[in-house]
Structures are given as C-alpha cells and as structure tokens.
Chains A and B, each alone.
Chain A
Amino acid sequence: MATTTLEPRAGTYRRSWVIEWLTTVDHKKIGILYIVNSFLFFFAAGILALVIRTELAVPGLQIVDQATYNQAFTMHGTIMLFLFIIPALSGFGNYIVPLMLGAPDMAFPRINALSFWLLPLGGLLIFSGYLFGGAAAEGWTGYAPLTGQEYGTTPGTDLWIIGLTLVGTASILGAVNFIATIFKMRAPGMTLFRMPIFVWTVLVTAVLILLATPVLAAGLIALFIDRNYGGSFFDPTVGGNPILWQHIFWFFGHPEVYIVILPAMGVVSEILPVFSRKPLFGYKAFVFATIAIGLLSFSVWAHHMFTTGEVFLPFFAFMTALIAVPTGVKMFNWLATLWRGKLMLATPMLFALGFVSMFLIGGLSGVMLSSPPIDFHVQDTYFVVAHLHYVFFGGSVFGVFAATYYWFPKMTGRKLNEPLGKVHFWIHFIGFNLAFFPMHQLGLDGMPRRISDYSPDAGWTLLNFVSTIGAFMVAVSIIPFLINVIATFINGEPAGDDPWEGNTLEWATTSPPPPYNFDRLPPIHSERPLFFLTHGHGHAAERPADLEETEEEDVEHRGGLV
C-alpha cells in the first residue's frame, strides 16, 4: 500500500538583500533607510560647516574664495534642515509610530517607499550644482531678487529649486501617510488620549507639513518661472515684489522650524518618563500645548521680516511672544517629570536632558528676537545664528541622537556601548556650547551673518577662533559614535525586547520586531500600556482617571497578572 504524504514544498522565499532593501515597503526598513541616508547628509553638511568655521577662525580669506564660501553656507543650511533633521526624525517616526500604535505598518506602504526614495534623488540634485558651475549660493532662504533671473545666474540654484520641490513632495506624502496611520490604524483600546506623546508630536508635525510645505512649493515654482520663463513674481523692474518671496517663504519657513523641533520634543517626552520611572507629568497639558504651538506657528512668520519695514510689527511681535507660553508649559512639564523621580543617567537620558538645557537657551534668545527693537539690532547677525543652532542643534539634533541611543536596541537587537555613548555625549555637549555660545556675543557686537571674512580691527577674532575650536570638537565627538555603531552592529550586547523598561508598545515585541510587528498586543487602558503590564495594578494612584473598566474586567485584569 502506497502512502502518499502531502508535504508543502518547504522553500524559503529569499531574495538578495540589495533588492530587498531597494524595493522594501516595510516601514521598519524604510525607517532605517531614512535614518542612514540622513546621517550621510549630516556628515556632508557637517564638513561644509567645518569649511565655514575654518575660514572664519581668523580674518583673511585663507581656504576658499567668496563664491565657494557662499555656496558652503547655503548648502550647509539646506542640507541640514531638509536632508538631515527632518528625514531623520521622519525615519524614527516611520519605524516607531506604527509600533507605538500597535499597527502592522503605515497606512500606505508603497507611498512610504516613494517618499523615501525621493530624498536621495532630491539631495543629489541639490548637490549636483557643484558639477554645473556652482551650487546654490544665496542662503538656504533664497531671497529674491538675488535668486532672480538677473542676479542669480548659477545653474545650481535651478537644481536647488527642483531638488527642494522633490524633497517637499516627499515630505507631504509622508505627512499624508502619518496622519492616515494615526487616525485609522490604532490598536483597539488606544483612544487618541492614550497615544504616546511621540505619536502626538508626529501628528501635529504632519499637519504642519501638510499645510505649510505646499506653500513653499508654490513659491519655488514661482521663482523657477521668474528665473527661466521671464516671470515677474519677484522682480521689481517688471512690476514684481521681492517682499512677496519673503512672505511666501516664511509662511512655510516658520512652521518648518516647528516641524523640525516637535518630533524631537516627542522623543524627549518618551525618554524622560522611562528614565525617571514616572509618567510624563501633565500628559493632556502637553498635548494641548503641542496643538497650540502648531496653530500659533502659522501666525508668526513675519518676525523674520521685522527689518524690511513692510510688516505690521505689533501683531507679529505679540503672536511670537505668545508662542513662548505653550513652549514654557512643555518645559515645566518635563521638569516636573524629573521631580522626585529615580533618574537613570544612561546616554539616551543624557541627550534628552541636554536637549532640555540647550533648547531652553535657544528659546530664551528667541524671546529676545521676538521684540522688534531688539531684533533691529541683532537680526541677520551671529545672534540669530546662535539662536538657530541652539534650537536646531541643541534641540533637534540632540533629540536625534537621543532617539538613536534609545531605539537602536529595538531596531537592531543590540545595545550601544554605554561608556562610549557617554564619551560621545560629553565631547559633543562641551564642543557644541564652545562653538555656539560665543556667537551670541558676536551678534550683539555687530558681526553680520553670511560673511566670508571680517576685519581684524572689528574685535571679533578671539570669539570666532574659540567657536571654531568648538566646531572641531563636535566633529571629533562623532568618532566614538561611529565606532560605537559599527562595533555594536558587528558584536554588540543583545538587548532583548525591553532593555529600558519602556512604557509603550514598541517594547512589547521582539528586537527587532517581526515583519508584521506583533504576535499579540497587550490590553491598552492608558498611555503606558507596557508599564501597566510590567508593574501591574500597583496602587490606585497609578491608574489614570479615564480608565474605563467594568469591575469584572478589573478583576480579570488583576487576576491575570503575576
């Protein structure tokens, strides 16, 4: 008697890892692509920063000519903002948000992939200016008529416009994806007010991107028409208005800076509670403060234009000063989270605390800038350069590093080396302050920004030299970071599912997670579903007021926990 055994053909579906990574629509892989791509652009823009600082260390043009210098700071700003910080935070959002929501992926995985691949394409286009006679050289703000047909003759500017339009499109598609995911794909039980704070900040950021970036696109297209088709949008000699460019650009440009900072604030708001072993103080207040910042960010744009003489100063000064209030609320809530906590000062926590300290300084200089009379003195000087670096670098970039150290174990299954991380942090922190704090004084003393050289009689030499030393320190601090990342990839300590005793759902699955993310989800009754699971019912004070459980469920809940 013949027996026939039916055996499904056991073959593993395999394809080469190159094809896999090039064609993936998995949010986790796309997230990693975003992050790696961002860091590559970070290094490129960082080298440009070193060129700038080396040139400015002492008076006289030593290493570059004026045109090259102007390209350097233009590209530095453009790359750092559009190709490093926003995509890096977007990458973490891509990886982590679906996990935090208990979802299997983003709402539109293929559009997710498209969004990513537009980035290296756009970035290469922007950089390709160097191959065609000069990259864009009019500042990342590209003011007309300097960028117009008559005065902006470098082809690099056209490539900059096209590249940025692609990058902006990628952003907008990403925003659609995030909002749809957050509204449509939360696990059962996760009401909006039980979402992790990081998800809230990503949500508000996505709304800002959705509404502000298209306005930039309109402006860039208008500029392209002026440059190439004889348009008259911004050219005063044919009836156009240079100030119109500034309005359009900053209507986008100001929400842009909140797009840059809010996700980093979200990261910090995840890390501080975990490493203080307490919940985020004032979760709801934090959510409302984030929404308030998002709304207000559309009403302040002309504070970048106080010195044009064509802006209704009191309104914009008022709204700008007002935005300090919800920002302050966040700051106080972070401090209250630390208060009477039990702080674990691991590297993610150090970067998070660094964020809070440095962003505070940036915020205070921002309040100074919100006052038109003060702004008349320091606008377009190194005071503004100091301010923007304290919020972008001391804020967002510290947030990116915090996120990296925090979520690296989840993404790779290995923990980064702690001592090396601390070395990175301290050199980075000290170098950063050495580089940028003196710039406050340089601006107050009257050193304008975007100058390739300055007079030896100006009295600016010492502070510039100190600043350059700080910049090189920051560059050096990247070395332990890179060593750490590479060594950990090769031979790092396994992390396990939940190395930090986290609160949120990404830690309720393996490190790294399986392709479909979760085998099973824990019940969701608060914004800290994993905390509840780990620490159980504890005492009444731990249960948030909006816990809606019947008594039966409650008993089962208690009974089911070890």
Chain B
Amino acid sequence: MTSRTMQAHPAGEHEAAAVMQHGQSGMPTALVGMLLFIASEVMFFAGLFATYFNARASVGAGQWGPPEGAHELDLPLAAVLTAILVASSFTMQFGVWAIRRGDTGKLKLWTGITLALGALFLAGQLYDYSELGFGISDGVFGTTFYTLTGFHGAHVFGGTVGLTIVLARAMRGQFSARNHVAVEAVSMYWHFVDVVWIGVFSTIYLLR
C-alpha cells in the first residue's frame, strides 16, 4: 500500500465533520431520518386502524357506533376540526416557503398561526370528547374510537411541541435560507399528522 493510492480519498477529522453534517449528497440526513420515522408512525397507525376495522367487521351490520344512550358522533364539529388541520398544513407550508426565501419574519408569522390552529384543533377534540357521553371502556366502538383519535391527538400534541421549538428558534434568528433543516423536518411531521387525520376522519365519521 503506497501513500499514493491511499490519498485517493483522504478522510480524517475534517472530512468526518463534513460528512456528519450533510451526508454525501442529496436530501439532508436529518430529513431522511424524519421521513423514516414517519414511515414507522404510519405503520403504528396502520396497526390501530386494523383493530378498528376488525372490530367493525365482527359487529353486526348497522350496529357499529356509539353505545346506547350516548350521543351520535358530531360530524359537523369533526368537519370543522378537519378544516382547521388542513388549513394549518397550508400555513405550515407557507412558513417553509418563506424561510427558503430567507424571510424569517414570515416564517415566524406562519409558524405562529400553524401553532394556534394546532392548539385549536386539540381544544376542539377535547370539547368533542366531553360531549360524547361514552368512554374508552364502553364497548368495542368506544375503545377503538378513543384509541385511534386519542393517539392521533397525542401526535398532534407532539407536533405542537415541535412547532413551539421551531418558533422559539426562529425568534432567536437561528434559521436562514440555507440552514433550516428543523423547519423542513417539523413541517414534514405536521403534514403527516394532517394526512393521518384525514384518514381517521374519513374512516370514523364518513365511512362509519
């Protein structure tokens, strides 16, 4: 082994640091990580959906729904919540576009609005829970309903935590057009949470 061949690809500490930050090329490594994490979350919700559909299939036709004496599902409220969450995905994306242009001001604005919409969604969800009149221990419908919507809500909450951190970092001027991976990552997660809600809403409220 001569030094000439070994010099073909110098490594050492400097190279190491560069590789750690950006990978070799293409999508930033942190985003790859977020994408993979989202894939695992999709499978988690797939498992929960499986329990919902299995329970629904084994209960007699026309009998799938809230137990006797409880309110019917509040479709109008759920539709409003859907609109809120979909809107928040748009506002999140506006924020991403803003910071890609280097516009930190707009990033803060749109992130703040997204956060507010997310909080509004959660508040609406909790209000819905309080009106329903049945609980997780009230039969198979109750169990699957609360588990599916509850874990979705928990993920929305996780997203709001991420949004809060992004907002705080933006207010400290930590993002620029070239350096804002965290914003992209949180926005990916937020869109995922929205897509899952569309699935939950369609399944529980529309399909029934």
A residues whose Cβ falls under 8 Å from a Cβ of B: 102-105, 107-108, 111, 172, 175-177, 179-180, 183-189, 210-219, 221-222, 225-226, 229-233, 238-241, 244, 247-248, 251, 516-524, 533-534, 556-557, 560-562
Chain B residue contacts of A177, Cβ below 8 A: 33
B48 at the interface (CB under 8 A from A): yes
Contact B59 A239, beta carbon cutoff 8 Å: yes
Q: Which one of B19, B54, B135, B136 contacts A185 once the chains associate, using CB atoms below 8 Å?
A: B19
Contact B5 A560, beta carbon cutoff 8 Å: yes
Contact B12 A561, beta carbon cutoff 8 Å: no
Contact A533 B59, beta carbon cutoff 8 Å: no
Q: Which of B9-24 contact A (CB under 8 A)?
A: 9-13, 15-17, 19-20, 23-24
With A179-B36, A213-B40, A516-B16 as given contacts, are A523 and B55 in contact (CB-CB < 8 Å)? no
Contact A105 B5, beta carbon cutoff 8 Å: no
With A217-B44, A240-B140, A247-B50 as given contacts, are A520 and B6 in contact (CB-CB < 8 Å)? yes
Contact B54 A175, beta carbon cutoff 8 Å: no
Q: Which one of A180, A217, A233 contacts B29 once the chains associate, using CB atoms below 8 Å?
A: A180
Contact B7 A214, beta carbon cutoff 8 Å: no
Contact A520 B40, beta carbon cutoff 8 Å: no
Give me the 5 closest cross-chain CB pairs, A-B, nearest first.
A230-B137, A218-B47, A184-B23, A104-B16, A214-B44
Contact B29 A107, beta carbon cutoff 8 Å: yes
Determine the distance from Cα of A244 to Cα of B29 in the docked complex, in whole angstroms. 37
With A233-B143, A241-B58, A516-B16 as given contacts, are A215 and B46 in contact (CB-CB < 8 Å)? yes
Contact B55 A239, beta carbon cutoff 8 Å: yes
B103 at the interface (CB under 8 A from A): no
* Shortest Cβ distance from residue B142 to the other chain A in the assembled complex, whole angstroms: 7
B 110-141 to A, binary, CB cutoff 8 A, 1 in contact else 0: 00000000000000000000000001110110
Determine the distance from Cα of A244 to Cα of B55 in the docked complex, in whole angstroms. 9
Determine the distance from Cα of A456 to Cα of B148 in the docked complex, in whole angstroms. 51
* Shortest Cβ distance from residue B123 to the other chain A in the assembled complex, whole angstroms: 23
Chain B residue contacts of A180, Cβ below 8 A: 29, 32-33, 36
B82 at the interface (CB under 8 A from A): no
Q: Which one of B24, B47, B54, B55 contacts A186 once the chains associate, using CB atoms below 8 Å?
A: B24
Chain A residue contacts of B147, Cβ below 8 A: 221-222, 225, 231, 233
Q: Can you name 15 A-B residue pairings with CB atoms under 8 Å?
A: A105-B20, A107-B29, A107-B33, A175-B36, A180-B32, A184-B23, A184-B26, A211-B40, A211-B43, A215-B43, A218-B51, A239-B55, A244-B51, A518-B12, A522-B1
Chain B residue contacts of A214, Cβ below 8 A: 40-41, 43-44, 46-47
B144 at the interface (CB under 8 A from A): yes
Q: Which of B48-67 contact A (CB under 8 A)?
A: 48, 50-51, 54-55, 58-59
* Shortest Cβ distance from residue A503 to the other chain B in the assembled complex, whole angstroms: 15
Instruction: Name the CB-closest residue of B to A533.
Output: B1
Contact B20 A233, beta carbon cutoff 8 Å: no
Determine the distance from Cα of A187 to Cα of B6 in the docked complex, in whole angstroms. 13
* Shortest Cβ distance from residue A31 to the other chain B in the assembled complex, whole angstroms: 17
Chain B residue contacts of A172, Cβ below 8 A: 37, 40
With A210-B39, A520-B7 as given contacts, are A229 and B137 in contact (CB-CB < 8 Å)? yes
Q: Which one of A175, A176, A216, A248 contacts B50 once the chains associate, using CB atoms below 8 Å?
A: A248
* Shortest Cβ distance from residue A436 to the other chain B in the assembled complex, whole angstroms: 33
Determine the distance from Cα of A111 to Cα of B33 in the docked complex, in whole angstroms. 11
Contact B1 A189, beta carbon cutoff 8 Å: no
Known: A218-B48, A239-B58, A517-B16; 14 extra A-B contacts, CB below 8 A, are A107-B32, A177-B33, A215-B46, A219-B47, A222-B48, A231-B143, A233-B55, A239-B55, A244-B50, A518-B12, A520-B10, A521-B8, A522-B6, A562-B2
Determine the distance from Cα of A208 to Cα of B4 in the docked complex, in whole angstroms. 42
Instruction: Name the CB-closest residue of A to B31.
Output: A180
* Shortest Cβ distance from residue B12 to the other chain A in the assembled complex, whole angstroms: 6
Chain B residue contacts of A184, Cβ below 8 A: 23-24, 26, 29, 32
Contact A176 B40, beta carbon cutoff 8 Å: yes
Instruction: Name the CB-closest residue of B to A108.
Output: B33
* Shortest Cβ distance from residue B44 to the other chain A in the assembled complex, whole angstroms: 4
Q: Which one of A183, A188, A231, A516 contacts B137 once the chains associate, using CB atoms below 8 Å?
A: A231
Instruction: Name the CB-closest residue of A to B16.
Output: A104
Chain B residue contacts of A522, Cβ below 8 A: 1, 5-6, 8-9
Determine the distance from Cα of A521 to Cα of B54 in the docked complex, in whole angstroms. 54
Q: Which one of A188, A210, A229, A239 contacts B139 once the chains associate, using CB atoms below 8 Å?
A: A239
Contact B144 A233, beta carbon cutoff 8 Å: yes
Chain A residue contacts of B13, Cβ below 8 A: 516
With A103-B19, A184-B29, A185-B19 as given contacts, are A560 and B4 in contact (CB-CB < 8 Å)? yes
Contact B47 A248, beta carbon cutoff 8 Å: yes
Chain B residue contacts of A211, Cβ below 8 A: 39-40, 43
With A180-B33, A218-B51 as given contacts, are A533 and B5 in contact (CB-CB < 8 Å)? yes
Contact A215 B47, beta carbon cutoff 8 Å: yes
Contact A104 B19, beta carbon cutoff 8 Å: yes
With A175-B40, A176-B33 as given contacts, are A232 and B143 in contact (CB-CB < 8 Å)? yes
Q: Which one of B12, B23, B44 contacts A516 once the chains associate, using CB atoms below 8 Å?
A: B12
Chain A residue contacts of B26, Cβ below 8 A: 184
Q: Which one of A240, A516, A520, A533 contacts B9 once the chains associate, using CB atoms below 8 Å?
A: A520
Contact B44 A218, beta carbon cutoff 8 Å: yes
Determine the distance from Cα of A137 to Cα of B26 in the docked complex, in whole angstroms. 49
* Shortest Cβ distance from residue B2 to the other chain A in the assembled complex, whole angstroms: 5
* Shortest Cβ distance from residue B164 to the other chain A in the assembled complex, whole angstroms: 21
Contact B11 A521, beta carbon cutoff 8 Å: yes
Instruction: Name the CB-closest residue of B to A518.
Output: B11
With A104-B19, A214-B47 as given contacts, are A231 and B36 in contact (CB-CB < 8 Å)? no
Determine the distance from Cα of A557 to Cα of B8 in the docked complex, in whole angstroms. 10
Chain B residue contacts of A244, Cβ below 8 A: 50-51, 54-55
* Shortest Cβ distance from residue A160 to the other chain B in the assembled complex, whole angstroms: 18
Chain A residue contacts of B9, Cβ below 8 A: 102, 187-189, 520-524
* Shortest Cβ distance from residue A451 to the other chain B in the assembled complex, whole angstroms: 31
Instruction: Name the CB-closest residue of B to A532.
Output: B5
Determine the distance from Cα of A557 to Cα of B2 in the docked complex, in whole angstroms. 11
Contact B29 A247, beta carbon cutoff 8 Å: no
Q: Which one of A183, A225, A516 contacts B136 once the chains associate, using CB atoms below 8 Å?
A: A225
* Shortest Cβ distance from residue B63 to the other chain A in the assembled complex, whole angstroms: 10
Chain B residue contacts of A183, Cβ below 8 A: 23, 32
Chain A residue contacts of B44, Cβ below 8 A: 214-215, 217-218
